[in-house]
Structure 1
Amino acid sequence: MSQEIGVVGSPEFTTGFRLAGVRKFADVPQDQKDEQLDDAVEEMLTDDDVGIVVMHDDDLSHLSRGVRQDAETSVEPVLVTLGGGTGSGNLREQIKRAIGIDLMDED
């Protein structure tokens, strides 16, 4: 079972996670996102030690279509995006995908 959290993003984004003890991270400078972000995300998705990949929501638009689809549909590791005003609907979908049930189901 995967136990590590992996963080992908700008050095400013990953710094807080690193200070909190996250050991798996990929710094992708803002001016190199289009060239390096796909590789960094693919590396995290294929790392057997990583169970959760954290990214900034705005970085999803910099991913190629294939990598973005792989990241968004991945069950393990699960992708969690932060920031960007995604709202509770997106978080709800992320939780549902991660654990397989909708905790807020009103039926």
Structure 2
Amino acid sequence: MTKGKIAVVGGHQFTMGFLFAGVQDVFTVHKEDGEQKLVELMGSKDYAVIFISETLNEQLDWRLKKKIASLAYPVIVPLPDITGESSEAANIKALIKRALGFDIMAKQ
């Protein structure tokens, strides 16, 4: 399996924490530019995981959401941002299983 990078896309307050944590590919976008940046990153094949703010996720076109749901790679993970708690509790385990093809948490 090819190693990939991690990217983060969202508003200023969402992305700053990732910058401080040392993530290199952090893209601070305005509301109207987020979807375009996400599509660009998805097409680059450099990224294994792309974290997006839940606010951005809620603004995505339904066709893009459908495409994201069917993708195995990269894994797109919406995370809660400053607006509050998650309204779409993404099952990270299921996302990873879909990307890797097996359950990394399964007991032998």
TM bracket (short chain): 0.7 to 0.9
Residue ranges of structure 1 left out of the alignment (5+ in a row): none
1-10 or 64-73, which deviates more = 64-73
Match of 1:44 in 2: 41
Preserved contact between residue 75 and residue 96 of structure 2 (Cα < 8 Å): no
Aligned residue identity for 2:62: R
- Partners of 1:104 and 1:22 in 2: how far apart? 25
- Identity of counterpart residues, as a percentage? 29
TM-score (norm 2): 0.76
The structure richer in helix per residue is: 1
Deviations along 1:78-98, whole A, 9 cap, x unmatched?
1122221544x6223212212
Deviations along 1:67-86, whole A, 9 cap, x unmatched?
22222322111112222154
TM-score (norm 1): 0.76
| CA RMSD, 1 decimal | 2.3
Number of residue pairs matched? 101
- Partners of 2:33 and 2:94 in 1: how far apart? 27
Residue ranges of structure 2 left out of the alignment (5+ in a row): 81-85
Given candidates 54, 57, 66, the residue that maps to 1:57 is: 54
